[in-house]
Amino acid sequence: MTARLIVRTLSELCVTVGSVIVLFVTYVLFWTGVRADSAMHGEIDRLQERWSDGPVAGAPAGPEPDGAGAPPPAAPYARGKAFAVMYIPRFGDSWAKPVLEGTGRDTLARGLGHYARTAPLGARGNFSVAGHRRTHGDPFKDFPKLRPGDAVVLTDGTTWFTYRIDRRPYRTLPADTGVIDPVPRKSGYGGPGRYLTLTTCDPEWGHSHRLIAWAHLDDTRRVGAGKPDALRS
């Protein structure tokens, strides 16, 4: 009788633990994704509303220049606030994510995060952005698919910035902060320029390493001139 009671108790305990694990996995895989998708859509909607109301705060006066030499914004980005939208055609026609200032946990739960110590969008230096590979909407789930020549397009409401990936994603350790230097180490770039660095975790469900993608600014155009060629289907 005692043996049966022990077996039954252990069985019930296993069922309970299993149920908790299933609920936790469901939360991680599904609910955080739902919340993150809603938050990211909300950030983009608020940005577009702000842009439609008039000139973007911090944007240069007058017409925005064409070519690959766009000036940086006149005002710093506000921590935790969205200031741009990123599009990566390689990840799908509907892939669009807000870019916010900072890389804190709360910020990355609402979109991609700009490393505060790196260059502004389009400026000389290294505009560097982090994003989750999995959970919180899986924004960089397809990161390993990036290939040389792929476009990474951003807009700040006044200008389109088109960067081009220069090499396949590079794997390194989290302590390797040189990857977001003004001239990123191990990128192959020979000197100063207008660069973009994207970072995410590796392996897919871990964080022991980082995947890095580097790109250079290839083109800029006024928003009024229409979408860049990379976004035209």
pLDDT interval class at 162 (50, 70, 90): very high
pLDDT for the residue 77: 96
pLDDT for the residue 194: 98
Q: How far apart, in whole angstroms, are the C-alpha atoms of residue 233 and residue 218? A: 19
Which residue out of 110, 133, 134, 201 is catalytically annotated? 201
Which residue out of 114, 132, 134, 194 is catalytically annotated? 132
| pTM exceeding 0.85 | no
201 is annotated as an active-site residue: yes
pLDDT for the residue 69: 54
Residue 148 DSSP code: T
C-alpha closest to that of 58 among 39, 44, 76, 40: 76
Which residue out of 114, 134, 136, 210 is catalytically annotated? 210
Q: Is 40 left (phi over 0), alpha (psi -120 to 50) or beta?
A: alpha
The answer, yes or no, to whether the previous bond of 174 is cis (omega within 30 of 0) is no
pLDDT for the residue 12: 56
pLDDT for the residue 64: 45
pLDDT interval class at 136 (50, 70, 90): confident
Kindly state the average pLDDT of the residues 78-84: 97
210 is annotated as an active-site residue: yes
User: Tens digit of pLDDT for each residue in 108-135?
Assistant: 999 999 999 999 999 999 999 999 999 8
Q: How far apart, in whole angstroms, are the C-alpha atoms of residue 162 and residue 88? A: 10
User: Tens digit of pLDDT for each residue in 46-58?
Assistant: 999 999 886 554 4
Query: Could you say which of 2.40.260.10, 3.60.15.10, 1.20.140.10, 2.40.40.20 is the CATH number of the domain covering 2-231?
Result: 2.40.260.10
164 is annotated as an active-site residue: no
Instruction: Report domain extents, the chain.
Output: 2-231
